[in-house]
Amino acid sequence: MEGRKSLFAFIVFVVIAYGFPWVLTNDYYLSILILSGITAIGVVGLNLLLGYAGQISIGHAAFFAISAYTSAILTTNYGLPVFAGMAVGIVLSAVVAVVIGIPALKLKALSLAMATLGFGLIVYICLNEAITFTGGPSGFVGIPRFNILGHYFYSDLHYYYLVTGVLTLVIIISLNIINSRAGRALKAIHSSENAARVMGVNVARFKLFVFVLSALFAATAGGLYAHYLSFVAPSSFDYHFSIKLIVMAVLGGMSSVWGGVLGALFLTSMPEFLRMYEELETILYGLILILCMMFMPTGIVGGFSKLAGLFMGRHSKGGKDV
């Protein structure tokens, strides 16, 4: 792993992410960026699971949802401070991830996909049906904005910095894990579980570790989401959202932390711009997905590094590097 390249990418990210608000003064764009950032936190986590450990989860929206709803209900109905509410939501998501993860991670590829998909659907259906707690299909309103030590993040600009800060933290954690012993273990599991086992990797433990970690990130994002919009509804966390998270990870570039960030930014902002073509929105969205996957199989990051390779006159490894 080229440490220097990774550091360079990190600096570029920090400069762009923190510089954005100076260039962009439009509130609408800022809110899209906030939502992109929140989603990116979840996608970076999912990417660890999908891109590094090679485990498919089509139920990650559930972790967003569990944390978002827990925090929403605790802070709105029981007057808990937002910070505490979010913490409880995140812990609860992690506990659920452990309970689901232990049996589910024994499953092979597509069965695991199905199991996580089923889990996501069950959570979604419960949110819709447990109307007394969740408000049912019409959603849960009046959630307080994020605040800590008396400071309320009422302005979008402040919230943007909050989200970017958390995202930066998540990226640092992820980069560290990838470049550590755990990261190498995960990659070994990805190429062959048996071989990894023979090499003395505790496969079950690492798989559970990365699953719970990705759920933690998703849960953090869920909490930030609820306390940004002040409103949550089950439809925000349905099967489509889980699929969208995977698509973001793959479209951005699976084996790169940055892929998750770019994928989230691209797929969160694109539908907003497609709104102009109302009727055609869905068709264009599908078409863009198909074309991107056909012509940029290693995702945006892979496409970039290929391009960079062309300019430098070198053969790039095409998205394999971080």
Figure out which of the listed residues 80, 91, 126, 270 binds another protein, where binding follows CB under 8 A: 126
Figure out which of the listed residues 246, 257, 301, 322 binds another protein, where binding follows CB under 8 A: 246
Strands (E), the chain: 140-141, 147-148, 151-152, 231-232
272 vs 281, beta carbon nearer another protein: 281
Considering only 19-27, 40-48, 87-95, 117-125, which stretch makes contact with another protein by CB under 8 A? 117-125
Figure out which of the listed residues 231, 285, 318, 320 binds another protein, where binding follows CB under 8 A: 285
Q: How far is the CB of 100 from another protein (least distance, A)?
A: 9
Figure out which of the listed residues 35, 50, 65, 94 binds another protein, where binding follows CB under 8 A: 50
The whole-angstrom separation of Cα 25 and Cα 21 is 6
| C-alpha 176 chain-centroid distance | 17
Token reading at 295 = 């012509």
86 vs 301, beta carbon nearer another protein: 301
34 vs 62, beta carbon nearer another protein: 62
Q: How far is the CB of 135 from another protein (least distance, A)?
A: 15
Q: Which of 81, 87, 223 is nearest to 162 (CA)?
A: 223
- 245 binding another protein? (CB under 8 A): no
- 56 binding another protein? (CB under 8 A): yes
Contact yes or no for 232/139 (Cβ under 8 A): yes
Q: How far is the CB of 59 from another protein (least distance, A)?
A: 10
DSSP letter at 40 equals H
CA angle 90, 20, 278 (to 5 degrees): 80
Provide the Cα torsion 85, 88, 90, 95; round to 10°. Answer: -160
Q: Which residue has the tokens 């109307």?
A: 131
Figure out which of the listed residues 114, 204, 208, 270 binds another protein, where binding follows CB under 8 A: 114
Q: How far is the CB of 46 from another protein (least distance, A)?
A: 12
The whole-angstrom separation of Cα 101 and Cα 86 is 22
Name 256's Cβ contacts closer than 8 Å, sequence gap at least 6: 47, 51, 299, 301, 319, 321, 322
| C-alpha 93 chain-centroid distance | 14
- 148 binding another protein? (CB under 8 A): no
Figure out which of the listed residues 106, 151, 205, 317 binds another protein, where binding follows CB under 8 A: 106
- 119 binding another protein? (CB under 8 A): yes
- Residues of this chain that interact with another protein (CB under 8 A) are 50, 56, 103-104, 106-108, 110-111, 113-115, 117-119, 121-122, 125-126, 129, 192-195, 239, 243, 246-247, 250-251, 254, 279-290, 293-294, 297
